[in-house]
Every structure is written in C-alpha cells, then in structure tokens.
Amino acid sequence: MPISPPDALRRAHVGTVLTFALIGVVNGILASRLPGLAAKLSLGTGQVGLVILSWGTAALATSQVMRWLVTALGSRTLLRLGAPLATVAACLIGLSPSFPLLLCAAGLFGVTSGISEAMVNAQGSLVERLSGRSVMNGLHAGWSAGAVTGGVLAAVLAACQVAYTPSVVGVAGACLPVVLLAGRTYLPGESEQEESGDRRGLPRVIYLIGVIAFAGLLLEGMVGDWSGLLLSRDLHAAPAMAAAAYPVFELATFTGRLFGDRLSDRFGCRGPLTAAGLASALGILAVVLAPSAMAAVAAFGLTGLAVCVIVPMSMSMAGGLAPGRADAAIAQVSAMGYAGLLLGPVFVGFVAQATSLRSSLACTAVAALLVTAGSRGLPAKVPSTKSGQPDRSTADATAP
C-alpha cells in the first residue's frame, strides 16, 4: 500500500538523520582511535599522513564523478550502496595486518565514504526543499551526534584497554544492519523523477560555495585526523584524554548545529558564515597556544562551536541556488569540499614532519579566514524552491 506523501517525507527525514548519525559513528571511531592504529602498526607521522592521503585521494577521485553518477543513477540508489559499504570498509581498516593492506582498506573507505557523504547531503537537501524549512544544520547535527558517540566509545574502549581492532570492527560492524534499514526510507532524487538529465551548466556561485566547503571540511578534517596525535605526542596526554579531543569537538559542533537552522532562517547564510570563519581562526590559534592537554581539548571544543555551520549552510545554499539541478550542485560542492579533506590533513602531516605539529595546525587558520572572505560574495538569502506540499513522487519513495 503506498505511503502518503507527508508520511514518506517524515520517514525520509528520520532515515536521513539516522544515516548522517551512523556515518558519524564510523568516522568518530576511526578518527578517535587513530593513535591506536599508529601504535598497532608502528606508524610514523609521515605514514599516518599517507594513510590519510590514500583515503582522501580515493574520496576526492570518487567525488569528482559524483555529479554525473547522480544524474544517471540518482541519490537514493547511490546512498543505498555507499553507506553500507563504508561500514564494511571501516571494518577492513580495523582488520588490516600490514601497512600496504591498510592503504588499500583506507582507499576503499575513501571511495565509499565519498559516495555516502555526498548523497546523504543530496537527500538532506531534498527533504529541506520539500518540507519548505531549514533542516540541514539539524541533519548535520545527527552526524555530529554520531561522531560524538563514536568518539566516546573510542575513549571508553581505550580506557578499558580494548585493542584497536576489536574496537573498530565491533562499532562499525554494528552500524551495518541499521544503515541497511535506513536505506528503505530515502526519497527519489530529481534525476530519478525526470526522463533525462538537465545538461545546463551550474551557476557560478556554486563554485564559490564549493571553495567555502573546501575550507570548512579542511578544518573538520584537521581536527579529526590530528587532534589525538597533537595531544598524545606534543602534550603527552594519556590515551583516553587524547581520544577525547575529537568527541569534544563534535559535541560542540552538535550543540551549535541545533541552533544553525534558526540562524539561517533569521539571518540567511552569509552573515553566520562570515562570523564562523573569524571565530574558527581564533579557535585554531587557541589550540596552537594551549599550554596543556585539557586546555587544548577545550580549545578544540570552541573551534567546533565556530566551524559547525560552515558545511551544512554550504550544502543548503548549493541545493537552493541551482533549481532543477540540486543533486548535481551538491555533488559539485562535495567534490570541492573533499579536496579540503584531502589536502588539509596531508598538508598538516608533511609540514609537521618538517617543523612541528603545532606550527602546521596554525597554518590552517588561513582556511578559516577564507570562509569569511568567500562568504561576502554570497547572496544574503537563498530563494525558496518550495512550491507547496510535497509532490506525488514522494508517495512511493520508501518502496524498496
């Protein structure tokens, strides 16, 4: 029996939030237990950088073709494939017995996470446009809640001296059946509702938004990949304290994103993005100058409060400024954002090899200022794409 459009939209909203959260859990456990991975395989800072490079390169290469893949297959099909496979790839990272196999597993995770991250944002944009209200920050809050959960689990497991492999495999493996169930709620994207794809070029502003997403994801990737090592190697923190930095950062982003949709509804996206860039730069400087592990953890939290709105507001604007091509616009912004995830943490790793980790982290404040500069070229308000109630294409959206 077909599900009514309002029910299908509600189910899709819940399923999209859940998918964001599960992706966050997997990323949270991987990021927080990175020091455990380095210890397991005796990896140096440069080798950790190569692992991140393998993952980031694969994610970036995948994201570059997402704009065309989503036109051919639709966001629903791609997300149903990508999200479950990302959890499988995370398990393979945990099981890797050697550095070469670890690089292969990291590359597979990059491919699958590149698909799932882009397409879950496309689903979120579709829910936002059909509901006629801002929800993207709330959806990304689900990602942050998941990352906090994954990070807290990592800290607890580290404190209980549970080895790296069972920690990662256990948490990622538990996410697999849940994300498979969430896949039944997704809505068909625009390319699934039309007989032929729209071949028009994207508006130029989409590429400016992509630059802002590049900077925002660079900052998030820097915290996720290097916060634990900064605390453990530079500030000599215990493993549990080192693992706590990332969940504290994500808890801060979760808190800030709970209010992000109200900010965008009231002020638009341009003003909050301008302020977020400046505040993020100050937060990074506070991390670099922190005299103790506890102070650094607090500074990471302040950075999370500032950086939290950059990516969701970028995705929301991309979906609203390309009528009829929202999935392709979000795929393009995701592709540019993933370049930040690739280049930022790898840049930090190689600069740290030559100087120090603190010095390399200080350089990322430039990316935060890039957000402030780029946001000045954005429109003050995103035109509404809501035409009324959800269309009839959502009636059978949850059909398997």
Residue type at position 206: I
Whether residue 364 contacts residue 284, with contact meaning beta carbons closer than 8 Å, is answered with yes
**CA 396 to each of CA 78, 79, 180, 189: distance values in angstroms, whole numbers, following the listed order:** 18, 17, 18, 12
CATH classification at residue 205: 1.20.1250.20
* Number of separate helices (H) and strands (E) present in the chain: 16, 0
Whether residue 300 contacts residue 223, with contact meaning beta carbons closer than 8 Å, is answered with yes
Is the torsion defined by CA of 219, 221, 224, 227 positive or negative?
negative
Residue 49 lies in a domain: yes
Say how far apart CA 273 and CA 115 lie, in whole Å.
26
**Domain span holding position 357:** 5-382
Say how far apart CA 24 and CA 27 lie, in whole Å.
5
Sequential DSSP letters for 87-100: HHHHHHHHH--SHH
pLDDT at 335: 84
Q: Provide the CA 221 distance to its chain's centre, in angstroms.
A: 9
Cβ-based burial of 327 (10 A; exposed 0-12, middle 13-18, buried ≥19): buried
pLDDT at 354: 75
Residue 235, classed as helix, strand or coil, is coil
How many separate domains does the chain show?
1
CB count within 10 Å of CB 161 equals: 8
Those residues whose C-beta lies under 8 Å from the C-beta of residue 184, and which sit 6 or more positions away, are 15, 398, 400
Q: Running along the chain, 400 residues long, what does each successive block of 10 average in pLDDT?
A: 68 94 91 85 82 81 82 87 95 92 93 90 89 88 86 86 91 94 86 47 89 91 80 80 81 90 86 93 92 90 93 89 83 85 76 80 88 88 49 40
Residue 280 lies in a domain: yes
Residue 27, classed as helix, strand or coil, is helix
Residue 397 lies in a domain: no
SS (H, E, C) 113-168: HHHHHHHHHHHHHHHHHHHCCCCHHHHHHHHHHHHHHHHHHHHHHHHCCCCHHHHH
Q: Provide the CA 260 distance to its chain's centre, in angstroms.
A: 16
Those residues whose C-beta lies under 8 Å from the C-beta of residue 366, and which sit 6 or more positions away, are none
Residue 389 lies in a domain: no
pLDDT at 200: 57
Residue 391 lies in a domain: no
Say how far apart CA 225 and CA 229 lie, in whole Å.
8
Residue 394 lies in a domain: no
Whether residue 381 contacts residue 268, with contact meaning beta carbons closer than 8 Å, is answered with yes
CB count within 10 Å of CB 387 equals: 10
Q: How big is the CA angle at 380 (ends 379 and 384), to the nearest 5 degrees?
A: 85
Residue 400 lies in a domain: no
Residue 206, classed as helix, strand or coil, is helix
Residue with tokens 């969940």: 247
pLDDT at 42: 84
Say how far apart CA 55 and CA 274 lie, in whole Å.
30
